[in-house]
Chain A
Amino acid sequence: MKNGFIFLLGLFTAIALSWAGIVLGTHAQLGALTPYYDDTEGKSFPERTTGIAASGQLVYADLGCAACHTQQVRRPDYGSDQARGWGERQSVARDYIHQSLPQLGASRLGPDLANLAGRKPSAPDAEDLLKLLYAGSLTHPPYKFLFEQKSIVGESSARALRLTGNLAPAPGHEVVPSDRALALVGYLLSLNTAYDYPESLPATPPAAGHAPDTKQEAKK
């Protein structure tokens, strides 16, 4: 390795190859992925994200929620994602095509949120989520800066949180979620992977007697 030019060329080739292979390769494979049109339902999936969900995703990203929450359900026989009720099926690339900042995440200190609004038997509603954001829990930090505590002038706000016990604001005051909090909750409630794409079904036919998979079969 005496020739500096050839050395530099080698460096450049190395980085260009892995770049082309991984980044351009997957782009060629999935860059043109389209929504899936379902004849029986008469519409395409995934559905377009609403404005509030799109702005809520920005809040989710800027607060760094992905530091503790993932949004990717793995296939039923890999890990306990399905058994924990995080999703009936694995997440596929098509689920994310309308999202500007997909938040796959890499840590599960908190639960997976890919299918938060579609959880069975009971998905959380807006009030549950707002209360969790305001008050926190043993495992979740309270984000009080997303809320405003103000004195009630005239009629109390329709948005105000119904808080009881030691969380209740001082008499004559109310806790009102900010626009950011409402957008974040709107986004969380839009996370739903209920629709089954052809590619989201398990690749190999599940073995008989395998409890989670037979459930999936029965559903089809």
Chain B
Amino acid sequence: MTNDSTHAATAEVTAIDTQARVPLTLLLAAGLIWLVISGVLGVITSIQLHTPGFLADCSFLTAGRAQAMRETSFLYGWIANTGLAVVLWVLGRLGGSPLRALNWTVAGTIFWNLGLAVGLVGIGLGDMTSFASFQLPRYVGVLMLFAYAAIALPGVLAWSGRRSHGLFASHWYGVAALFLFPWLFSAAQLVLLWSPMRGTLQAVAGGWYTQSLWSLWLAPLALTGAYYIVPKVAGRLMPSYDFAPLGFWTLIFIGGWTGGRHLVGGPVPAWIPTMAVVACTMMLFHYILVGLNLRIASQAGGTAIKFIRFGLVAYVLTGTLDALTSFRVIAVETQFTFMATALEQLGVYAGISMMLFGALYYMLPRLTGRPWASAALTTGHRVLVSFGVVLLVATLAVAGWTQGSDLLDSKLALGEIFNRLRVPLMVGTAAQIALVAANLLLVVNFFRSACVCCATSTPSETPFRQPSALEAHAS
């Protein structure tokens, strides 16, 4: 691992990084704790799928509630905290001066995670809403919005007060992620919880939120890191960079229109799923352009790049499969099955999370000024998490496909279909356990690396360099 970009000895450390050490490390630590919590919940829900009686007596963990808690802690705990840390860091570096108002980030982090914890307890007690990826109870919504604004403030200041006039691709994605989430979240709160729409219109608005969350927040959070790190590590200008704006605006303008993807054949106006087919197909431009821009990831090495490469392949694959399964002929087979779960995991775990892992591995040594505590743990995490996520998505996809074709055969009773699903679902549990184990390795490594740095005096700071000039150079 001599020439590894996650090794601080070869990395440039600037004043921007040392200033932001504590707030950003706090965000990352919060993200990792939620990752483990959601992993444990993932094991529980996955056991409940093949053994329905498991923990059924505990009203706190009915299958529906445990599933909602798993998803919420994953999206709003792990991805939100880590993604925001990555975006703030990248915007600070591109802004050319140390992040300002970082106290707000610390306060925001505390309240965001407090709100999330209250929300999860609320779900356990039965206050969940019934919309996918929007299960947080109504009473934490406002707190979460204010906390989010506080976390994001330094990023906005870094962007508006940047020294260079240009905007880079990672700027676009970072700023979009920071600004769009509050709009999305408050718009959804308004029409789903405060003044609910009538009947099935709730499902339409819920679908709009879920899909917008993916394309206007989760994907930009991860792509901010990928667009910043890949050209830097590869040491090359980004190929086809002229097309990058097209890729960005396709995602932003078309993303929300894919909202009806899961409502095929449902009691909603038929144009809603039809529009989703059109939008999902148009989104292919975005996925293709991201693939074109970041294809240089295949020519670089290092832990960070290995994660990001994995994430990018999964991300492009998710877009392609989303488009395919939005068509009615295919949806008739995949709708209401584990195929939808498989695609969701492919997107948020194999895609977004793997890119965030890469960014995390790249970022931490620069924040602390020290290499990761253990190279063995790093490798162990990478191998185990890659194995776990591939196994998970593959078993869910197999389960989904059998379930889909079995459901179409009306002579097959549901009990029989269930029996045929048990084996793949049990393998899925093994995959979830592998993922928890892998992420525990990361947590140990993270806290060892972060705490070693807290215990010793600050490392010597190298002279400040204009980071934007480094965007296309090897670190």
Contacts and interface: CB of A to CB of B under 8 A. Distances in A.
B208 interface: yes
A208 interface: no
18 contacts: A4-B159, A7-B172, A14-B249, A19-B256, A23-B204, A26-B268, A66-B64, A68-B63, A84-B410, A92-B267, A93-B267, A96-B199, A98-B199, A101-B202, A110-B414, A140-B52, A141-B48, A142-B56
B267 A63 contact: no
A103 B199 CA distance: 9
Interface of B: 48-49, 52-54, 56-59, 62-65, 67-68, 126-130, 132, 159-160, 165-167, 172, 175-176, 179-180, 183-184, 187, 191, 196-205, 207-208, 212, 216, 245, 249, 252-253, 255-257, 259-260, 262-263, 265-269, 272, 275, 328, 332, 335-338, 340-341, 403, 407-410, 414-415, 418
Given A106-B132, A138-B418, A63 B126 contact: yes
Nearest to A30: B201
Contacts, number: 217
B203 A30 contact: no
Contacts of A67: 63-64, 67-68
A141 B53 contact: yes
A27 interface: yes
Given A11-B252, A72-B266, 13 more contacts: A11-B180, A23-B197, A23-B201, A29-B269, A62-B127, A64-B130, A74-B266, A78-B332, A96-B200, A138-B52, A139-B414, A141-B53, A145-B57
Contact of B414 (A2, A27, A111): A111
Contact of A11 (B160, B179, B338, B340): B179
Given A22-B256, A79-B408, A15 B198 contact: no
A126 interface: no
A150 to B, nearest CB: 17
B408 to A, nearest CB: 5
A4 B156 CA distance: 11
A141 B56 contact: yes
A26 B198 CA distance: 10
A102 B203 contact: yes
Contact of B130 (A66, A108, A111): A66
A33 interface: yes
A33 B167 contact: no
B199 A14 contact: no
Contacts of B191: 23
* Among A80, A83, A101, A109, residue most surrounded by chain B Cβ atoms (within 10 Å): A109
Contact of B407 (A8, A23, A108): A108
A170 interface: no
Contact of A142 (B53, B269, B414): B53
B129 to A, nearest CB: 8
A62 B135 CA distance: 10
Summarize B's interface: helix, strand, loop or mixed.
helix
Contacts of A78: 265, 328, 332
A14 B252 contact: yes
A51 interface: no
Interface in A99-144: 99-111, 136, 138-144
A63 B65 CA distance: 6
Nearest to A145: B59
Contacts of B202: 101-102
A111 B418 CA distance: 11
Nearest to B63: A67
A220 to B, nearest CB: 20
Nearest to B207: A22
A95 to B, nearest CB: 6
A140 B68 CA distance: 18
A65 interface: yes
A103 B130 contact: yes
A64 B62 contact: yes
Contacts of B414: 110-111, 139
Given A33-B199, A145-B59, A26 B216 contact: no
A133 B188 CA distance: 33
Given A18-B255, A63-B65, A141-B63, A93 B336 contact: no
